[in-house]
Amino acid sequence: MQPEPNKFSLKKRLKSFTYAFNGLKGLWKNEHNLRIHIVTAILVIGLGYYFQISIPEWIAVILLIGIVFTAEIFNSAIEHLADFVMPNLDSRIGKIKDLSAAAVLVIAFAALIIGVIIFLPKLLAMVY
């Protein structure tokens, strides 16, 4: 006799949000880089409102904020997993951690460049 497959349960699906929010809570508490991303995101959103950026610009800004946060979450998950699997210093684990940190850096730089493309002309127009 084969085991019965898991049936859909709304209660279990709602419970999964608890795990996700616990993850966010842990990020806020332990990952200082996330706080920098949040402050930057608030600043960029404020600039977006101030300059009344277009809908495509809003889409770019919101997507990039989401991607930067997601990269930071994956980076943190990889670091925690690596520390769990191999608590002692190992160059292979160090390379893995460096690569995951590099992913955050790459998308943060891409977000910065797009932010400059969106906001620099608006800032210059204020000056001139």
Instruction: Specify whether domain 25-127 bears CATH 1.10.287.3610.
Output: yes
Dihedrals phi, psi of 60, to nearest 5 degrees: -60, -45
pLDDT of residue 87: 83
| Residue 40, pLDDT above cutoff 80 | yes
pLDDT for the residue numbered 2 = 67
In one-letter notation, the amino acid at residue 117 is I
Domain limits, the chain: 25-127
**Confidence category of residue 125, pLDDT binned at 50, 70, 90:** very high
- The SS3 of residue 88 is coil
Alpha carbon distance 3, 12 (integer Å): 19
Q: Over the stretch 78-116, which tens digit does the pLDDT of each residue have?
A: 999 999 998 887 889 999 999 999 999 999 999 999 999
DSSP, res 2: P
In angstroms, the CA 100 to CA 29 distance is 20
Which residue has better confidence, 32 or 118? Answer: 118
Computed over every residue of the chain, the mean pLDDT equals 92
What average pLDDT does range 21-28 have in this prediction?
A: 90
**pLDDT tens string 67-86:** 999 999 999 999 999 999 98
Residue 3 banded pLDDT, cuts 50, 70, 90: low
Rounded to the nearest angstrom, the gap between the alpha carbon of residue 66 and the centroid of all alpha carbons in its chain is 5
Enter the pTM of the model.
Answer: 0.84
DSSP secondary structure, 83-102, as one string: HHH--S--HHHHHHHHHHHH
